[in-house]
């Protein structure tokens, strides 16, 4: 989800990788993106809505829907028939977890990113927008703003923001100091460099006119912020093909930021 605020000079473009609880759209263990394509495409257009605690997706008309994307290396996409059949039935039927990520944009076109705490089980030390699950009876915007406050301490009321859904990201997954260890307001120049470091590809990264280090705010165990710097290479690193992960911007976050950059090029009605 994309959210603008005139009070904070940042963007948290509520790229709401939106979500509600469980959506029983499919009986088979398969990729949602693949369900709306011929199975080979990694990006499709869909219509989406949150109705009675269910996130509903349908095929979208070209040029009028919301983009839904999965990474090219999505493990569900590459499951063989034999591997899919070996997955326990309770896992096949558990449904889809939905979450919302907020890309908060300021009036000077910066966006807020946070580094996940190194103690977290999933994606530790990875840079992402604030976000999390949608609770029962919450709207997508309510969930996004709640997660924003829980993770960063920033409190915004719905009437203070101008939300927009940028796109949907499908991922396979099995300041609050418990969740966030650092935060950063990234301008469009840094963001452009981030999105050129495409995971799974060997494309050239655009680093022109960027400094060798980036200013960030480290979050202490007590929640205090301390100014620090990190090498630029941290933010243009790619997900490793094998072995342990490293500090980087997550694949889904790069997609959200790419959509945000496109939104800057599109005049508002």
Read off the tokens for 187: 């301008």
Asked whether the beta carbons of 135 and 17 are under 8 A apart, the reply is no
Read off the tokens for 3: 């959210």
The C-alpha atoms of residue 1 and residue 77 are separated, in whole angstroms, by 25
H helix or E strand, kind and range, residue 125: none
Asked whether the beta carbons of 173 and 75 are under 8 A apart, the reply is no
Going residue by residue through the chain, which has 269 residues, state the pLDDT in tens, using 9 for 90 and above: 544 443 332 222 234 332 222 222 333 446 788 888 876 788 999 998 888 778 888 888 888 899 999 888 777 777 777 777 777 776 666 667 788 999 999 889 999 999 999 888 888 999 999 998 888 889 889 999 999 999 999 999 999 888 889 999 887 654 667 789 999 999 999 999 999 999 989 888 989 889 999 999 998 877 788 999 999 999 999 999 888 889 999 999 999 999 999 999 876 65
Asked whether the beta carbons of 106 and 184 are under 8 A apart, the reply is no
């Amino acid at each position: 989800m994309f959210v603008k605020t005139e009070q904070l000079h940042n963007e948290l473009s509520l790229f709401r990788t939106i979500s509600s609880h469980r959506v029983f759209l499919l009986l088979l263990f398969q990729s949602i993106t693949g369900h709306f394509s011929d199975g080979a495409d990694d990006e499709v257009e869909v219509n989406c809505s949150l109705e009675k605690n269910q996130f509903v997706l349908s095929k979208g008309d070209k040029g009028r829907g919301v983009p839904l994307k999965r990474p090219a290396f999505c493990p569900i996409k590459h499951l063989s028939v034999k591997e899919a059949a070996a997955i326990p039935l309770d896992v096949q039927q558990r449904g889809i977890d939905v979450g919302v990520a907020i890309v908060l944009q300021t009036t000077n076109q910066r966006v807020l990113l946070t580094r996940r705490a190194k103690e977290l089980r999933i994606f530790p030390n990875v840079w992402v927008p604030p976000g999390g699950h949608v609770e029962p009876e919450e709207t997508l915007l309510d969930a996004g703003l709640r997660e924003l406050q829980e993770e960063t301490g920033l409190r915004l009321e719905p009437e203070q923001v101008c939300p927009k859904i940028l796109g949907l990201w499908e991922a396979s997954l099995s300041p609050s100091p418990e969740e966030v260890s650092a935060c950063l307001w990234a301008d469009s120049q840094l963001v452009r460099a981030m999105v050129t470091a495409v995971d799974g590809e060997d494309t050239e990264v655009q680093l022109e006119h960027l400094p060798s280090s980036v200013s960030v705010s480290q979050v202490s165990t007590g929640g205090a912020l301390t100014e620090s710097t990190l090498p630029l290479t941290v933010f243009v690193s790619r997900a490793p093909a094998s072995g342990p992960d490293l500090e980087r911007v997550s694949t889904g976050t790069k997609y959200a930021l790419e959509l945000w950059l496109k939104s800057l090029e599109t005049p508002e009605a």
